[in-house]
Chains A and B, each alone.
Chain A
Amino acid sequence: MRHIIGSIVLVAALAIGASFIENEFYLRTLFMICIYFLCAAGMNVLLGFAGQKSLGQAGLFAAGAYAVALLTTRYEVGPWLSLLLACFVSAVFGILIAVPSLRVKGPSLAMVTLAFGIVIEKVVTEGSEVFGGAMGIYAIQPLNIGGTPFTMVQWVWFGLLLCLVAHLLLRNLLRGRFGRAFLSLQADEVAAGAVGVAVYRYKVLAFVIAAVTCGLAGALVAQQNQYINSDFINFHLSVFILLLVLFGGSGSLYGPLLGSVTLVIIGALVARWTWIEHFVNGALLLFALYAMPKGLAGVFGALFQAMGLVGGKGGDAATQGGIVPRLPTRAMPHTATGSLLTADRLNKSFGGVVPAKDVSINLTEGHIHALIGPNGAGKSTFINMLTGIIRPDQGKVTFLGRDITQQSVHGICDQGIARTFQNLRLFKDLSVRENVLLGQHSRMQNGFASSLLGLPKAWREEGEALRKVNDILAFTGLSQYAGSPAGSLAYGLQRRVELARALASEPFLLLLDEPAAGLNPQETAELGQLLVRIRNEGITILLIEHHMDLVMTISDHVIVLDYGQKIAEGTPGKIQADPRVMEAYLGTSTEAA
């Protein structure tokens, strides 16, 4: 609340200040700060949160600008409606630029977005019949009130108002479920999917948000100038928008503000010499990357912290003494079949390697199942098939009576299967609490609109999730680490954070891929107790493990894989006596005899 009032007061003060400025140049500079703030605020969602490098934002700026230009000049749509439609047009282009991101990652994606920007630039330059090319489009209708076009001061006011609205809305969005989901994409897409984040949908959403703010900025520029031509749209604009975010502080809510204010002012100072302006921007980009990886926002943040103005987050509420909290769980739907999960004759081959050959298993509710076998037996592949990360070539997986073989990774998480990874996949830069909150992602009900508008529902859900997460942290003994970045913890603790994150999706079935790997004997014993406690909460467990003492103590049922085939299953006692298991682990018994 304090933040909202503060922002409103700041914007109001600027608006009042602006009305005393007579100089057109200063007003225009202020207007451009607003424009670039809008671009940067959306780009921050895409780059700073979702971690997608888009080098084609100029294309989206163009989409908004030319939409407004064509709508008002050709189709004689009113200026206000055109502005609104321009936002929709840019959103469509945002989806277009997002499509390749679903298939390619990393440098190739950056290159593709770059190409997108260049193509739009080419289209508006070459397509002179429609877009006017370098001649441009004149007589774009400006915004007006009752037929009177905006004066420069009114443009500034309107710009400030839009910035305020954009900032507050995005702040609502980014501080809750959606912001965390975007951050998880940046950190690790596979893990994000496994905790229930719909990876593709969120990526597209991030692109669309960046596209709408950028298109809005373009439309405003076109309407204010009443003119647009292809010179506006160039690669330097894309780089500048990127720079706004990086220089201001990528991933910080204040970054876009700091970036747009400083860079527009610097730009205004050197604008007389075009090539110097570009040189300065390039140099600032390098400077930001070398010297302040968290941008101006990071520098100021560190400064304030050093001055003691902002304390570190205080100690968490003391953990409830003595009472061990229950895990949050969801009500089990009643099914006819009786078994929780059935895998029916799963097959998978990678070329000549066959990690699964007609593997069928049956998991019973409330049991701890163990999946063991020598290295390369196909255990991890099996878990990957159950969670949708790898699709089986043949076979069928039924969970709670439903066929989940072709379901998406996040959909399977939604159904109630959670997992951990053999090689830890934590969101390392996020705090332990945020990691576990991400596990709650699929359980939270607040959608885009309620999160964006900060409706009571979003607050309720967030509070509820936080309460459950605190319970889970207490249950797993992690409360004291809640505020630390997950990557900073000792290895054994990191394993436990991943387990807590999986528990946060309130699963019916928990799949653990070597949870004891790298743990010392003491930690392994503690893990065993923790797993039994989790089972006692009613959660079924399937674990892959090499620590046989752990497996044999806690499991109710053991399945043995070798070369992609199930060679035995049964109670721990039965497995220990099985000659085929001994053969797989120790070699043939005839030699020993």
Chain B
Amino acid sequence: MLDAYIQTLVSGLAIGGVYALIALGFSITFTTTKTLNFAQGEFISFGAFIGVTMLLLLSGLAGTATAVPEEAAAAWRYPAAVVGAGVVAGVMGILIFVLAVRPFAGKGGMNWVMSTIGFGVILQSIGLAIWGPAPVMVPSPLGDDVLRIAGAGVRPQELLVLACAILIMIALDLVMRRSRIGKAMMAVAHSPQTASLMGINVTLVMIGAFALSSGLAGVAGVLIAPIASASLFMGMGFALKAFSGAIIGGLNNPRGCIYGGFILGVLESAVGLWQAQWREIVVFGLIILVLAFRPAGLFGQAAVDKV
């Protein structure tokens, strides 16, 4: 029984790491621009497929296939695909900011919600035209043999995902707290007006925030592909659960979002141990409960609407 629990915990942490990455992305754009990318799901799917395409192209195969052969993901190609997907998704993030968010941000009516959704719908249909609707199997660079840890079967990709997610988040946390650019981002998050008076290029910081957030989604897509297999329809679910994680942790609190992502991953995994088909329903039910009792999240501070 214990091994089943360990197995659940590890896969929960792995998937939670992915949620945490995406949730962190939500938090980054929300704190700096007060907007969210409602097309984040498509960015995750695109990340996965850009990864797939890069793996195939780098190993000299045609750009599309129903499954990626194992040797194509080996050695340096997988890390290259991760970086490549992150960069491409980041550039797409800049596009979505300039085209869909910036024209509407800061105005009433939240039209940016609809414009990012519209962008996402367009992206998905482009993706379907390029890669088709069928899911693509992606091998793990570490192979698909199950490791035995204290009797529990753990997939190497899960450990890799967890390690990558933690490394990225530690790096980001350091950048945010230590570097000049991180401080600029925090300043913009607190007050864009004051930040711009202090000589910070607010627009640039906002563009950077969207690039970073989308890049994280792209990376998350490639990391998760060997576990969930790449599909253009997978993104929405991941994005929603990551957002739920962000809500649990508090959208305004980047560290809280990371905890929220992990909590949600483990919880989902635990519910899956009991009743797999109830996962989504339990998870979203929980979110509604959290919102009802602590609208600002477990680790967030309530925003006071000054009257």
B113 touching A115 by the CB < 8 A rule?
no
**Contact across chains for B111 and A282 when beta carbons are under 8 A apart:** no
Contact A278:B125 (CB < 8 A) given known A112-B288, A289-B114 = yes
Stretch of B53-61, B151-159, B237-245, B266-274 on the interface side: B237-245
A403 at the interface (CB under 8 A from B): no
In chain A between 217 and 271, which residues have their CB closer than 8 angstroms to a CB of chain B? 235-236, 239, 242, 246
Q: Which residues of chain A in 307-348 are interfacial with respect to chain B, using CB atoms and an 8 Å cutoff? A: none
Cβ contact within 8 Å between B240 and A279: no
Contacts of A422 in B (CB 8 A): 307
Q: State the Cβ distance, A112 to closest chain B Cβ, in Å.
A: 7
Q: A283 at the A/B interface (Cβ < 8 Å)?
A: yes
- Within the assembled complex, what's the spacing in Å between the Cα atoms of A115 and B38? 12
A53 at the interface (CB under 8 A from B): yes
User: Which residues of A, 94-118, contact B by the 8 Å Cβ criterion?
Assistant: 99-100, 103-104, 106-108, 110-112, 114-116, 118
Which among B38, B125, B277 is the interface contact of A279 at CB below 8 angstroms? B125
Interface positions, chain B 110-151, Cβ under 8 Å from A, are 110-111, 113-115, 117-122, 124-126, 128-129
Stretch of A24-32, A119-127, A522-530 contacting B (4+ beta carbons < 8 Å)? A119-127
Scan residues 242-294 of chain B and give those whose CB is less than 8 A from a CB of chain A: 243-244, 247, 251, 277, 280-281, 284, 287-288, 291-292
**B77 CB to closest chain A CB, in angstroms?**
30
Is A356 an interface residue, CB under 8 A from the partner? no
Is the Cβ of A119 less than 8 Å from the Cβ of B115? no
| B41, closest chain A residue (CB) | A235
Contacting residues, chain A, for B36 (C-beta < 8 A)? 107, 111
| Inter-subunit contact B307/A286 (CB<8 Å) | no
For B126, B240, B304, the residue with the greatest tally of chain A CB atoms inside 10 Å of its CB is: B240
Tell yes or no: A49 within 8 A of B by CB: no
Contact of B287 among A107, A115, A126 (CB under 8 A): A115
- Residue A389 CB within 8 A of the other chain: yes
Q: Which one of A279, A281, A390 contacts B126 once the chains associate, using CB atoms below 8 Å?
A: A279
Which of A55, A275, A421 is B125 in contact with, Cβ under 8 Å? A275
Q: Are B114 and A242 in contact (CB under 8 A)?
A: yes
A128 to chain B: closest residue by CB = B277
If the complex has contacts A108-B247, A285-B115, are A119 and B280 also in contact, measured as CB distance less than 8 A? Answer: yes
Given A100-B292, A107-B36, A283-B118: A118 and B125 within 8 A (CB)?
no
Q: Which of A43-79 contact B (CB under 8 A)?
A: 51, 53, 55
Task: From the candidates B119, B240, B280, B304, name the one contacting A114 in the complex (CB within 8 A).
Answer: B240
The residue that B307 contacts in the complex, of A107, A110, A384, with Cβ under 8 A, is: A384
Instruction: Across the interface, name the chain B residue whose C-beta is closest to A238.
Output: B117
| Min CB–CB distance A462 → chain B (angstroms) | 28
> What B residues does A431 contact at CB under 8 A?
none
CB contacts (< 8 Å) of A100 on chain B: these are 288, 291-292
State in angstroms the CA–CA spacing of A115 and B290 once bound together: 14
Residues in chain A near residue B243, CB distance under 8 A: 111, 115
B110, A53: Cβ atoms closer than 8 Å: yes
Contact between A283 and B115 (Cβ–Cβ < 8 Å)?
A: no
- Give residues of chain B (70-118) contacting chain A, Cβ–Cβ below 8 Å: 100, 103-104, 109-111, 113-115, 117-118
Whether B117 pairs with A107 at a CB distance below 8 angstroms is no
> In the complex, A269→B86 CA distance in Å?
38
Interface contacts (Cβ under 8 Å), in number, total 115
Min CB–CB distance A285 → chain B (angstroms): 3
User: Does B200 belong to the interface (CB within 8 Å)?
Assistant: no
Is A20 engaged at the interface, CB distance under 8 Å to the other chain?
Answer: no
Q: Which of A103, A235, A275 contacts B129 (CB 8 A)?
A: A275
Measured between beta carbons, the chain A residues less than 8 angstroms from B100 are 286
Cα-based distance from A317 to B213 in the complex (angstroms) = 57
Does any Cβ of A come within 8 Å of B69's Cβ? no
Per the 8 Å Cβ criterion, residues 205-263 of B in contact with A are: 236-237, 240, 243-244, 247, 251
B100: shortest Cβ distance to chain A, in Å?
Answer: 7
Q: CA of A71 to CA of B128 in the docked complex: distance in angstroms? A: 37
In the complex, whether A190 has a CB less than 8 A from a CB of chain B is yes
Determine the distance from Cα of A107 to Cα of B30 in the docked complex, in whole angstroms.
Answer: 9
- Per the bound structure, the CA–CA distance linking A293 and B103 in Å amounts to 12
User: Nearest Cβ distance between residue A256 and chain B, in whole angstroms?
Assistant: 17
Q: Is the CB of A103 within 8 A of B122?
A: no
Docked-complex contact A380 and B240, CB < 8 angstroms: no
Q: Is A276 an interface residue (CB 8 A)?
A: yes
Q: Is the CB of A126 within 8 A of B240?
A: no
Q: Kindly identify which residue among B111, B126, B295 contacts A104, using a CB–CB cutoff of 8 Å.
A: B295
For residue A108, which residues in chain B have a CB less than 8 angstroms away from its CB?
247, 251, 291
CA of A278 to CA of B244, assembled, Å: 26
- Docked Cα-Cα span, A115 to B125, in Å, equals 21
Contact A107:B118 (CB < 8 A) given known A118-B240, A119-B280: no
Instruction: Indicate with 1 or 0, residue by residue over A419-442, a CB within 8 angstroms of chain B CB atoms.
Output: 001100000000000000000000
Measured between C-beta atoms, what is the minimum distance from A252 to chain B in Å?
15
CB pair B240 A115 closer than 8 Å = yes
Provide the residues of chain B in CB contact with A112, threshold 8 Å. Answer: 287-288, 291
Q: Residue of A at shortest CB range from B103?
A: A290
Bound complex: CA of A389 vs CA of B306, how far in Å?
A: 10
Of A53, A236, A279, A421, the contact of B122 (CB 8 Å cutoff): A279
B204 to chain A, nearest CB (A): 23
Q: Find chain A residues with CB under 8 A from B240 CB.
A: 111, 114-115, 118
Q: Which of A106, A286, A390 sits near B115, CB closer than 8 Å?
A: A286
Q: A53-B110, A122-B280, A279-B125 in contact; A289/B104 too (CB < 8 A)?
A: yes
Complex contact B122–A286 (CB within 8 A): yes
Q: How far is the CA of A282 from the CA of B288 in the complex (A)?
A: 29
Given contacts A100-B291, A190-B305, contact A285 B121 (CB under 8 A): yes
Tell me whether A239 and B117 are in contact in the complex, defined as CB-CB below 8 angstroms, given that A111-B240, A118-B240, A283-B122 are known contacts: yes
A424 CB to nearest chain B CB (Å)? 12
Q: Provided the pairs A119-B280, A126-B277, A275-B129 are in contact, do residues A236 and B121 lie with their beta carbons within 8 angstroms?
A: yes
Q: List the B residue with the shortest CB-CB distance to A125.
A: B277
**Which of chain A's residues 284-318 have a Cβ closer than 8 Å to chain B?**
285-286, 289-290, 293
Minimal beta-carbon separation of B231 from chain A (angstroms): 14
**Cα–Cα, bound, A282→B128 (Å):** 14
Cβ of A278 and Cβ of B114 under 8 Å apart? no
CA A532 – CA B113 in complex, angstroms?
48
Chain B residues positioned under 8 Å from A246 (CB to CB): 114
Contact A285 B291 (CB under 8 A): no
User: Would you call A99 and B292 a contact (CB within 8 A)?
Assistant: yes
Q: A119 near B121 (CB under 8 angstroms)?
A: no
What's the Cα separation between A390 and B304 when bound, in Å? Answer: 11
A235-B236, A289-B111 are contacts. A119–B284 as well, Cβ < 8 Å? Answer: yes
Given known pairs A115-B287, A289-B104, the reply for A107 and B121 (CB within 8 Å) is no
Contact A103 B118 (CB under 8 A): no
B35 in contact (CB, < 8 A):
yes
**Most chain A beta-carbon neighbours within 10 Å: one of B236, B251, B304, B307:** B307
Instruction: Find out whether the CB atom of A99 lies under 8 angstroms from the CB atom of B118.
Output: no
From known contacts A282-B121, A289-B104, infer whether A103 and B295 are also in contact, taking CB-CB under 8 Å: yes
Q: Can you spell out 8 A-B residue pairs with CB atoms less than 8 angstroms apart? A: A103-B292, A115-B244, A118-B280, A126-B277, A275-B129, A293-B111, A389-B307, A421-B307
Closest 9 CB pairs of A and B: A282-B121, A285-B118, A282-B122, A279-B125, A275-B125, A278-B125, A286-B118, A275-B128, A282-B118
Name B's A-contacting residues (CB within 8 A). Answer: 30, 35-36, 38, 100, 103-104, 109-111, 113-115, 117-122, 124-126, 128-129, 236-237, 240, 243-244, 247, 251, 277, 280-281, 284, 287-288, 291-292, 295, 304-305, 307
- Known pairs A111-B240, A118-B240; list 6 more (Cβ under 8 Å): A55-B38, A100-B288, A111-B38, A115-B284, A126-B277, A279-B125
Residues of A at under 8 Å CB distance from B?
51, 53, 55, 99-100, 103-104, 106-108, 110-112, 114-116, 118-119, 122-123, 126-127, 190, 235-236, 239, 242, 246, 275-276, 278-279, 281-283, 285-286, 289-290, 293, 350, 380, 384, 389-390, 421-422
